[in-house]
Amino acid sequence: MPPPEKIIGVIGKTNVGKSTLFAALTLATVEIANHPFTTIEPNVGIGYVRKKCVHVELGLEKCNPRTGYCVKGYRFIPIKIMDVAGLIPGASQGKGLGNKFMDDLRQADALIHVVDASGSTDLDGNPVKPGTSDPVEEAINIQKEVDEWFYSVIKRIWESKISRHIITARNPIEYITQNLSGLSINKNHVVEAIRRAGLTDKNPRSWSNEDIRVFSIELRRVSKPIIIAANKADLHTAEENIKRLKEVFGEENVIPVSALAEYILRKAAKNNYIEYLPGDNDFVIKDESKLTSDQMKALKIIREKVLEKYGSTGVQQLISHVVFRVLNLITVYPVEDHHKYTDHYGNILPDAYLVPRGTKARDLAYMIHTDLGKTFLYAVNAKTGERLGENYELKDNDVIKIVAAAH
Ligand SMILES: Nc1nc2c(ncn2[C@@H]2O[C@H](COP(=O)(O)OP(=O)(O)OP(=O)(O)O)[C@@H](O)[C@H]2O)c(=O)[nH]1
Ligand SMILES: [Mg+2]
């Protein structure tokens, strides 16, 4: 089975641009024949992280991705995105679409928190004069809401199940992990949250309510880290607010974006009006005669107010940051023929897997096929020809062949 799929959730209050960001992220700028549908469910779709393709490093002319696509030496690797609707103040108490929100959120491995950095929507999502609403306050409020929700879910599971059986559980940490696995939580998350909560030396059997609360807040941070997308950066009132957001949440946790600009650029690229690769700092107009004067004007504004000012629309940088830095995934390319870098149909570098840093050669074998994992003999580093044992820790951009006893 392929690597466990990570899901990135998009959250935020009403009207900040969640759906625009989701639409931009899931709009591929090229036709992808083998993946006609980018939307899996109405609110779940495939986005793409951009990465220099290893075929360039190997001196190959091209590759044949089975999923995603490769343009101008950049590989666009699929990743699941979810538009999580219905987060309003009070959602954790079951207000609004609270339950649907919780259901979606429990699956997410990381969260993009879209904030209206231009300050043109109030806390309830009503439009107000740009610059009059405070995005810092908005961001703090929403994240508090997420923490409250998370705590309420953990507390419920704890009271209804964990507290009764943990007394007899042989391994309390395993037992806690098991009961929280529905929240996309693993043992590493639990251990790390316990450490951060300062509860390492206290047996979970005797945790107080306050201990459970501190633990659950740390667990949320570890298992569903939040990155802020400071959206509507194209509006002039955003600049000052972006600075303030960075001061409060940390430089690396706030990324200025214009979801609308990215959406317009991708759409125009897809229609062949412009040449633009998601993540680029500029675009080229292909045929001016195809564009209306309004469209020309919009493109000019995007160039001046977004690309020249921020170096990109920020959308591609945002998703790359979440995948490679926050989730700490690396890219590995499994192949069957380590001389030609192909599968047995002759497709060059057909797969680019996003796997957690720390994944071993044998784990990769299991991801490709259970049989390959079971009968694993050794792996081959296709770049060097070197033989690798089962415990070899995969490195970013490794091209790997697995050799197994029977397959
Ligand atoms: N100027 C500007 N407007 C944007 C941007 N992104 C979204 N908008 C506008 O903001 C409004 C709300 O966008 P949506 O994407 O529907 O927001 P949402 O968060 O999904 O809203 P709900 O689903 O109602 O919670 C729309 O009018 C968008 O065109 C942006 O980057 N810049
Ligand atoms: Mg929406």
Instruction: Pick the ligand that lies closest to the CA of residue 130.
Output: 1
Confidence of residue 36 (pLDDT cuts 50, 70, 90): very low
CB of 212 closer than 8 Å to CB of 154: yes
CB of 206 closer than 8 Å to CB of 162: no
Q: pLDDT tens, 212-238?
A: 999 999 999 999 999 999 999 999 999
Query: What is the distance of C-alpha 106 from the center of its chain?
Result: 14
> What is the arithmetic mean of pLDDT over 400-405?
96
Mutation probe of ligand 1 site: the residue of 22, 237, 239, 260 with most atoms within 8 A of C-beta: 260
Nearest residue (by CA) to ligand 1, atom 13, is 17
CB of 318 closer than 8 Å to CB of 265: no
Please give the number of the atom of ligand 1 that sits closest to the Cα of 257. 31
Q: Is 14 in the pocket of ligand 1 (CB under 6 A)?
A: yes
CB of 39 closer than 8 Å to CB of 26: yes
Other residues' Cβ atoms within 10 Å of the Cβ of residue 56: 16
Instruction: Pick the ligand that lies closest to the CA of residue 11.
Output: 1
As a whole number of Å, the end-to-end CA separation of the chain is 14
Q: Is 19 in the pocket of ligand 1 (CB under 6 A)?
A: yes
Confidence of residue 2 (pLDDT cuts 50, 70, 90): low
Residues with Cβ within 8 Å of 297's Cβ and at least 6 positions away in sequence, in order, are none
Confidence of residue 170 (pLDDT cuts 50, 70, 90): confident
Confidence of residue 127 (pLDDT cuts 50, 70, 90): confident
Query: Is the confidence at residue 14, as pLDDT, over 80?
Result: yes
CB of 19 closer than 8 Å to CB of 324: no
Distance 249 CA to ligand 2 centre (A): 24
Distance 45 CA to ligand 2 centre (A): 14
What single-letter DSSP state applies at residue 91?
Answer: G
| Angstrom distance (rounded) from CA 71 to CA 260 | 23
Pairing of strands 329-335, 398-404: parallel
Taking alpha carbons only, the member of 2, 18, 268, 229 closest to residue 125 is: 18
For CA atoms 35, 184, 144, 88, the dihedral sign is positive
Nearest residue (by CA) to ligand 1, atom 14, is 17
SS3 category, 152: helix
CB of 216 closer than 8 Å to CB of 189: no
Mutation probe of ligand 1 site: the residue of 10, 13, 14, 15 with most atoms within 8 A of C-beta: 15
CB of 45 closer than 8 Å to CB of 147: no
Query: Is the confidence at residue 101, as pLDDT, over 80?
Result: no
Distance 136 CA to ligand 1 centre (A): 18
- Could you tell me what percent of the chain has a pLDDT over 70? 93
Distance 111 CA to ligand 2 centre (A): 15
Q: Is 97 in the pocket of ligand 1 (CB under 6 A)?
A: no
Residue 115 to residues 24, 99, 149, 211, 231, Cα–Cα distance (Å): 16, 22, 19, 31, 6
> What is the arithmetic mean of pLDDT over 300-320?
97
The encoded tokens of residue 403 equal 């050799």
Distance 161 CA to ligand 2 centre (A): 36
> What is the arithmetic mean of pLDDT over 67-87?
91
Instruction: Pick the ligand that lies closest to the CA of residue 42.
Output: 2
Q: Is 24 in the pocket of ligand 1 (CB under 6 A)?
A: no
| Angstrom distance (rounded) from CA 209 to CA 207 | 7
Mutation probe of ligand 1 site: the residue of 19, 20, 118 with most atoms within 8 A of C-beta: 20
CB of 233 closer than 8 Å to CB of 242: yes
At residue 131, what is the residue type? Answer: G
